[in-house]
A = this chain, B = another copy of it.
Amino acid sequence: MAADATTRAHALADAAIAGDRLALARLLTAVENRTPVAEAALRQLYPLAGRAHLVGITGPPGAGKSTLVAALLAEVRAAGRPVAVVAVDPSSPITGGALLGDRVRMQSYAGDGDVFIRSMASRGHAGGLAATTTAAAAVLDAAGFDLVFIETVGTGQSEVEVAAAADTTVVLEAPEMGDEVQAIKAGLLEVADLVVVNKGDKPGAQRTAAQLRAMLVPSVARGGPAVAGNDSNGERPTPKRPDVLVTTASTGAGVPELLAALDRHRAVGRAAITSGARRTRAAAQVQSILADRLAGRLRAPGLAARTAQVIDDVAAHRLDPFAAADLLLDAALGATSDEA
């Protein structure tokens, strides 16, 4: 069955590279469900990826993320460039129902083979969300999409992490006032490479942009995953104060300037991208797979009963979770030694 999955994966991957959008969609479903097909396909496709510009777009609900993505798509397509969108839809347990109108708008690209729009359901555990999205982006990258937008709502830690794992992270804000909004801004802005005040036709947009420029401090290196890359070699990206742009996504005003800013960030940021965001992303992917591998060993026939007993002991407070983790780690290592 594993061999069968590999055969199917290679067939799907070959077809996706050749431009078969149905094969691409199927691959992304496999990635989302973390199937054996996904692993085999990703192993084949991964060396072909790494060329695309991954742009994360996040912000609070109502800032106009989907409308802006739609406007960016129109701009990118007018330039004849292929483009993909991964909309991380936190639909379980939260549904991104607000995107409906924009989804309809995006369906106008249904016949355009150079546009690929994918909604990710973000099921499963939170830790896997960034890894799954990164894997989906790698598949689109390998399939020839040179520009991939990753849209997430900036109201949960996992969701923000997903957007922040992109090469360039855009944080969207609507022109609004009040202490609460300011506080939200301060948190979200930490991950921004570019800040966009959308709904620029509303009163206060320019003032909000000015306030944001005043409050922005140069971004510091972000805390990466626990399996960190080598960041002790002085290659960290230089902290840089993010630019603040104003757009009106509904009319397209400011959108060409935003696309130009993204392209600029891509060009000048290439070295920093390699040493910063890309390494963080790679570490997160590897860490997620490591956790899966370890969990797989603990669920394997030889250890499943032992694992269940240990978890039961922790649940009943007969065993503390640290002792439990050490027991299971030793058991997993022992199981491997037996195999070898």
The residues of A with any CB-CB pair to B shorter than 8 Å are: 39, 42-43, 46-50, 61, 90-98, 100, 122-127, 129-130, 135, 153-161, 164, 179-184, 186-188, 190-191, 223, 225-230, 274, 278-279, 281-283, 285-287, 289-295, 298-299, 305, 307-312, 314-318, 320-326, 328-329, 333, 336-337
Give the residue name and chain of the B residue nearest to A277 (CB): B315
In the complex, which of the residues A43, A159, A191 has the most CB atoms of chain B within 10 Å of its own CB atom?
A159
Main secondary structure on A side of the interface with B: helix
8 cross-chain CB contacts under 8 A: A47-B317, A94-B154, A125-B223, A126-B157, A226-B299, A274-B316, A285-B314, A292-B325
Cβ of A227 and Cβ of B154 under 8 Å apart?
Answer: no
A62 to chain B, nearest CB (A): 10
User: Which B residues are in CB contact (< 8 Å) with A307?
Assistant: 227
Selected from B91, B96, B282, B311, the residue in CB contact (under 8 A) with A283 is: B311
Q: A100-B179, A321-B286 are in contact. Are A315 and B156 (CB under 8 A)?
A: no
On whether the beta carbons of A179 and B329 are closer than 8 Å, the reply is no
Nearest residue (CB) in B for A134 is B321
- Given A125-B226, A279-B312, residue A294 in contact with residue B329 (CB < 8 A): yes
Per the bound structure, the CA–CA distance linking A337 and B295 in Å amounts to 20
Write the chain B residue with the least CB distance to A296: B226
CA distance A43 to B314 in the complex (A): 11
B157 touches A129 (CB 8 A): yes
Check if B316 sits within 8 Å of A186, measured CB to CB: no
Contact between A311 and B290, CB atoms less than 8 A apart: no
How many Å lie between the Cα of A61 and that of B94 in the bound state? 13
Say yes or no: B230 contacts A125, CB within 8 Å.
no
Q: Which residue of B lies closest to A178 (CB)?
A: B97
Q: Smallest Cβ distance from A138 to chain B, in angstroms?
A: 8
Q: Please give the distance in Å from A338's CB to the nearest CB on chain B.
A: 12
Bound Cα distance from A326 to B188, whole angstroms: 35
Q: Which of A48, A130, A314 has the most CB of B within 10 A?
A: A314
With contact pairs A97-B184, A156-B157 given, residues A291 and B287 touching in the complex (Cβ less than 8 Å): yes
A295/B287 in contact, CB under 8 A: yes
State A311–B154 Cα separation when bound (angstroms). 27
Give A33 Cβ to nearest chain B Cβ, in Å.
12
**Which of B46, B292, B310 makes the CB contact (< 8 A) with A317?**
B46
For A125, list chain B residues within 8 Å (CB): 127, 161, 223, 225-226
A229's nearest neighbour on chain B, judged by CB, is B311
Q: Looking at the assembled complex, report how far the CB atom of A72 sits from the nearest CB atom of chain B, in whole angstroms.
A: 22
With contacts A315-B274, A321-B46 taken as known, whether A93 is within 8 angstroms of B290 at the C-beta atoms is: no
Q: Bound state CA distance, A23 and B98, in angstroms?
A: 45
Contact A93 B191, beta carbon cutoff 8 Å: yes
Q: Which 5 A-B pairs have the closest CB atoms?
A: A156-B156, A127-B127, A230-B308, A97-B183, A50-B317
A290 touches B90 (CB 8 A): no
Residue of B nearest to A329 (CB): B293
A184 and B182 CA atoms in complex are apart in Å by: 25
- Of B93, B100, B124, B187, the contact of A93 (CB 8 Å cutoff): B187
